[in-house]
Amino acid sequence: MHMSTNSETKSAAVGTDPTADRPLRADAQRNRERIIEAASEAFRELGLDASVAEIARRADVGSGTLFRNYPSKEDLIYAVIEARMQEWTHVAERALTEPDAAKAFEEFMLTAADAQYRDRGLFEAFKEGLLDEPELFDCKERAVCLSEEVLKRAQQAGAVRADVSADDLGNLTAAAAAAAERSGGGNSEGSPYARYMRILLDGLKP
Amino acid sequence: MHMSTNSETKSAAVGTDPTADRPLRADAQRNRERIIEAASEAFRELGLDASVAEIARRADVGSGTLFRNYPSKEDLIYAVIEARMQEWTHVAERALTEPDAAKAFEEFMLTAADAQYRDRGLFEAFKEGLLDEPELFDCKERAVCLSEEVLKRAQQAGAVRADVSADDLGNLTAAAAAAAERSGGGNSEGSPYARYMRILLDGLKP
Amino acid sequence: MHMSTNSETKSAAVGTDPTADRPLRADAQRNRERIIEAASEAFRELGLDASVAEIARRADVGSGTLFRNYPSKEDLIYAVIEARMQEWTHVAERALTEPDAAKAFEEFMLTAADAQYRDRGLFEAFKEGLLDEPELFDCKERAVCLSEEVLKRAQQAGAVRADVSADDLGNLTAAAAAAAERSGGGNSEGSPYARYMRILLDGLKP
Amino acid sequence: MHMSTNSETKSAAVGTDPTADRPLRADAQRNRERIIEAASEAFRELGLDASVAEIARRADVGSGTLFRNYPSKEDLIYAVIEARMQEWTHVAERALTEPDAAKAFEEFMLTAADAQYRDRGLFEAFKEGLLDEPELFDCKERAVCLSEEVLKRAQQAGAVRADVSADDLGNLTAAAAAAAERSGGGNSEGSPYARYMRILLDGLKP
DNA sequence: GATGAATGAGCGTTCATTCAT
DNA sequence: CATGAATGAACGCTCATTCAT
């Protein structure tokens, strides 16, 4: 993301063709993204046991390249989680612009769960306690803080029971997403996933 | 499957053994139980990645013995799940003797979730889709049938929303149990686990 | 050594054929020896960089077997050094039975250097400071203590200069052995090795 | 070999360069020196296992540049040895200007050993038999020839035993240096290094 | 020419599975 | 029948070497 912005800036400044097929540029950054994408996908399909070689294959890079970017498998996992956490943060930020506290909360939950529904890696990470690692403290802190605001607004508006915390929200959405995962029915209206989220949201009302 | 074969063997063997070494059979049976117990415990503590050697050590048998009884790690996992499924079946049977349909449902859910809360191996198995393997079809069928009865009674009594199936119950309890697992606070009154089950049960009301 | 003594004892006691080709017995112990032998040889030829796989190949065992016996390469190296140290200890013990202090010293030095001449692994270990690892403290201690006695006797007899310590003896014999190694001329009379030892022993005189 | 090509280039280039980019040549030359220096240092500290990347970092050049100059790690090692050999050659040349043959020999030995004491890479190279590679034949030849002269003068003066060759001198000084290395006590008066050299020089007397 | 990202073979280590005892 | 030593494929990781920029 950083880098693609960079290259656009660069080529725009020079005035040459920004869309041509010059095969590589600062492809290193592109690789980082490809790797995270591939890892995300592999973790979703195979769990955190997905081998580094498999991830490298999916990202279409050598294992050495993967290592250069993420010196250990743990680092790669952290990077994936961090990416998901930032997604979560953005979702919470958007929710805070919605005036109706109850609606904001519901949309926040649905969107956040959606992200997890699409990436079971994160859920396993929850389970393994990986989110409590110091490496992830910062990005988690931000996500939790914003979630807390969304939650508190909804609680003060009487739309959500008082005995849940922002931490719970992560656990619960992750769980609902994981519960639905096996059914594989997408997240359309009548799908297990939609039903489970309905149950969860109803259960969260006072 | 293995298990049922075993019981047949047992009943057939009553008083008919032509060879002198029947005590070994008792030993073998005891070994099978010890292995399942040890595997259950190891999976709970270490996840499905727990090594076969570790399980053999906990069961105090050689790895060869373990292998003789369960020709592959997968077979062992299936056997553990089967044991849990039977527990589930018993819980459902007991619930069917409770006259109050709503109360029966709630107790069924709490007890079933409790079993899963205490055995994360089963939940991982859920996630891996292991329950859909043909080897487990029979034992799952029985558990699901009985759960269905408990559920339908509660739905007819107007205590549970109509758009959930017996399959969902397994997913949801597993998810709630897993969500609570990390918090580690036991299953006492104010624990995350108790809270999550409350949310789930409330969410399941019509 | 232990084990081969054991099996002899055993088969002798039973009275059956001790030389027959019953293919395996308590072969595990035999493997340990084969591994040490192979490692010793590989380290001599290729240095401590000799790969574990190469050692396993030479010992004609799988890498897993090697690992079972020596859980890490370091452990294997330690085991090799320990074996050499014990050799050293025996040499010193024998030297202490020789009444002529000067002759005892010279024979001790020649025999000890010989052992190192045949195993450059030990010398590299010296260089890497491996002998100072706590795992090897005990076996080194014994060897050094006995060497010290041999040395002191010779010094009191006026056969060796006063400004050398037992530690020095290890360094110097190792160095002489290593110096001669490349020439590959064996340790016969006029070989570089014999010459270097002569120079060393002459240099050690007061 | 590389080196000699270099000096030819240098002298030929004086005042004759037809292209404008001569400064690059100076850079390239500077790079070569920096690389050798860095490699020398890295080998001394980390042994021959020092990674090429580490050497490139110390030399402050890209690994590609390093590779361009020394197409393989082996080439780099050869170049370092060659540099040391030239040092040796200079030491021998200086020794030949000293009228007292015995004193010349002793100083030659002490200075040569000093160079090796400060560069364990060279000693490892000795051990690996690298000096016998054909690539190094020329530079070794020169060093050995000059050493031989120093040695012969001393032998004819009756200061050194007759049964040592110039080859032996390299082996022996390398060994003494290596033997002292672990003790780390510098090369001051009473250090192990000084002691070992004393022993060696005494041992070399007839 | 210089750079450093990419490569992939090879390392030490692990573990499900097999089999001699 | 129980045992645990042996196996070897696969893992995460490293590094000499190559090559697009």
Give the count of beta carbons closer than 10 Å to the beta carbon of residue B105: 25
Long-range contacts from B156-162, C-beta under 8 angstroms, 24+ separation: B156/B101, B157/B101, B157/B102, B158/B206, B159/B101, B159/B102, B159/B105, B159/B205, B159/B206, B160/B102, B160/B105, B160/B204, B160/B205, B160/B206, B161/A199, B161/B204, B161/B205, B161/B206, B162/B206
CA–CA distance, B164 with B145 (Å, rounded to integer): 14
CA–CA distance, C120 with C177 (Å, rounded to integer): 8
Nearest to residue C117, comparing CAs of C171, C44, C49, C43? C44
Residue pair C159/C205 in contact by the 8 Å Cβ criterion: yes
Residue pair C139/C193 in contact by the 8 Å Cβ criterion: no
CA–CA distance, C155 with C206 (Å, rounded to integer): 9
pLDDT for A199 equals 93
The predicted model gives D187-196 an average pLDDT of 78
Task: Specify the DSSP class assigned to residue B1.
Answer: -
Chain B: give the shortest CA distance to residue A1, in Å. 32
Q: C179 and D183: CB-CB below 8 Å?
A: no
CA–CA distance, C151 with C165 (Å, rounded to integer): 8
Nearest to residue C39, comparing CAs of C1, C85, C78? C78
Tokens in use for A154?
């909804």
Residue pair B44/B118 in contact by the 8 Å Cβ criterion: yes
Residue pair D127/D178 in contact by the 8 Å Cβ criterion: no
**Is the pLDDT score of B80 beyond 60?**
yes
CA–CA distance, C172 with C183 (Å, rounded to integer): 18
Provide the mean pLDDT of chain B.
82
What band does D176 get if pLDDT is binned at 50, 70 and 90?
confident
What band does D152 get if pLDDT is binned at 50, 70 and 90?
very high
Tokens in use for B26?
């008792």
Q: What percent of chain D has pLDDT over 70?
A: 77
What band does D126 get if pLDDT is binned at 50, 70 and 90?
low
Cβ partners under 8 Å of residue A100, min gap 6: none
**Between the CA of C128 and the C1' of F2, what is the distance in angstroms?**
45
Cβ partners under 8 Å of residue A98, min gap 6: A104, A107
**Cα dihedral A40, A42, A48, A51 sign:** negative
CB contact B130 to A (< 8 Å):
no
**Residue whose structure tokens are 């203590």:** C145
Instruction: Kindly tell me the burial class for residue B5, based on how many C-beta atoms sit within 10 Å of its own C-beta (0-12, 13-18, 19 or more).
Output: exposed
pLDDT for B17 equals 44
Q: Which residues of B touch A44 (CB under 8 A)?
A: none
Residue pair A171/A177 in contact by the 8 Å Cβ criterion: no
Residue pair B58/B38 in contact by the 8 Å Cβ criterion: yes
Is any atom of strand F within 7 angstroms of residue B63's beta carbon?
yes
CA dihedral D59, D60, D62, D63 (to 10 degrees): 30
Q: Which of A's residues 85-144 have CB atoms within 7 A of nucleic strand E?
A: none
Q: What is the pLDDT of residues A123-143, one digit of tens each?
A: 666 656 677 778 888 888 888
What band does D120 get if pLDDT is binned at 50, 70 and 90?
low
Chain A: partners with 3+ C-beta pairs within 8 Å: B
Measure CB to CB from residue A175 to each of B164, B176, B195 and give the nearest one: B176
pLDDT for B12 equals 42
Q: Nearest-CA residue to the C1' of F4?
A: B62
SS3 for D133?
coil
CB contact C204 to D (< 8 Å):
yes
Question: What is the per-residue burial (b if ≥16 Cβ within 10 Å, else e) of D126-145?
Answer: bbeebbeeebbeebbebbbe
Tokens in use for C3?
């084990």
Q: What is the pLDDT of residues D46-94, one digit of tens each?
A: 888 899 999 999 999 999 999 999 999 999 999 998 888 888 899 999 9
Q: D178 and C176: CB-CB below 8 Å?
A: no
| CA B41 to each of CA B83, C89, C160: distance values in angstroms, whole numbers, following the listed order | 13, 49, 67
CB contact C115 to D (< 8 Å):
no
Tokens in use for A28?
């290193």
What band does D22 get if pLDDT is binned at 50, 70 and 90?
low
Give the count of beta carbons closer than 10 Å to the beta carbon of residue A120: 22
**Is the pLDDT score of D14 beyond 70?**
no
Q: Give the DSSP H or E segment for C5.
A: helix C2-14
Residue pair C112/C166 in contact by the 8 Å Cβ criterion: no
Instruction: Kindly tell me the burial class for residue B7, based on how many C-beta atoms sit within 10 Å of its own C-beta (0-12, 13-18, 19 or more).
Output: exposed
Q: What is the pLDDT of residues A1-44, one digit of tens each?
A: 333 334 334 444 444 444 444 455 677 888 999 999 999 999 98
Nearest to residue A173, comparing CAs of B114, B176, B167, B186? B176
- Classify the phi-psi angles of A131: left when phi > 0, otherwise alpha if psi is within -120 to 50, otherwise beta: alpha
Residue pair D196/D176 in contact by the 8 Å Cβ criterion: yes
pLDDT for C32 equals 93
Q: What is the pLDDT of residues B9-40, one digit of tens each?
A: 334 444 444 555 555 567 778 889 999 999 99
**Between the CA of B44 and the C1' of E17, what is the distance in angstroms?**
23
Domains of chain D, CATH where assigned = 22-71 (1.10.10.60), 75-204 (1.10.357.10)
The predicted model gives B76-95 an average pLDDT of 90
What band does B175 get if pLDDT is binned at 50, 70 and 90?
confident
CA–CA distance, B10 with B28 (Å, rounded to integer): 12
Cβ partners under 8 Å of residue B7, min gap 6: none
Q: Which of C's residues 1-60 have CB atoms within 7 A of nucleic strand E?
A: 22-25, 27, 49-54
What nucleotides of chain F have any atom within 7 angstroms of a protein Cβ?
A: 1-21
Nearest to residue C176, comparing CAs of C121, C104, C112, C131? C112
Nearest to residue B121, comparing CAs of B193, B69, B54, B45? B45
Task: Specify the DSSP class assigned to residue B73.
Answer: H
**Residue whose structure tokens are 């000293």:** D98
When comparing pLDDT for C112 and D103, which is higher? D103
**Is the pLDDT score of B146 beyond 90?**
yes
Tokens in use for C192?
């570089």
Residue pair D113/D176 in contact by the 8 Å Cβ criterion: yes
Tokens in use for D102?
């015995």
What band does B47 get if pLDDT is binned at 50, 70 and 90?
confident
Least confident of A188-192, B74-78, C53-57: A188-192
pTM of the model: 0.81
CA–CA distance, B158 with C26 (Å, rounded to integer): 70
Q: Which of B's residues 50-109 have CB atoms within 7 A of nucleic strand E?
A: 51-53, 63-64, 67, 71-74
CA–CA distance, C45 with B114 (Å, rounded to integer): 62
Q: What is the pLDDT of residues A58-80, one digit of tens each?
A: 999 999 999 999 999 999 999 99
10-residue averages of pLDDT along chain C (206 residues) = 40 45 66 93 89 96 96 93 88 95 95 79 62 81 92 97 91 82 63 88 94
Provide the mean pLDDT of chain A.
82
Task: Specify the DSSP class assigned to residue C71.
Answer: S
Helix segments in chain D, DSSP class H: 2-13, 22-46, 52-59, 63-69, 73-95, 101-117, 120-128, 137-156, 166-181, 192-204
Q: What is the pLDDT of residues A47-56, one digit of tens each?
A: 889 999 999 9
pLDDT for D39 equals 94
Is any atom of strand E within 7 angstroms of residue D61's beta carbon?
yes
pLDDT for D122 equals 63
Q: What is the per-residue DSSP string for chain A?
A: -HHHHHHHHHHHHHTS-SSS--S-SSHHHHHHHHHHHHHHHHHHHH-TT--HHHHHHHHTS-HHHHHHHSSSHHHHHHHHHHHHHHHHHHHHHHHTT-S-HHHHHHHHHHHHHHHHHT-HHHHHHHHHTGGGSGGGHHHHHHHHHHHHHHHHHHHHTT-S-TT--HHHHHHHHHHHHHHHHTT--TTSTTSHHHHHHHHHHHHH--
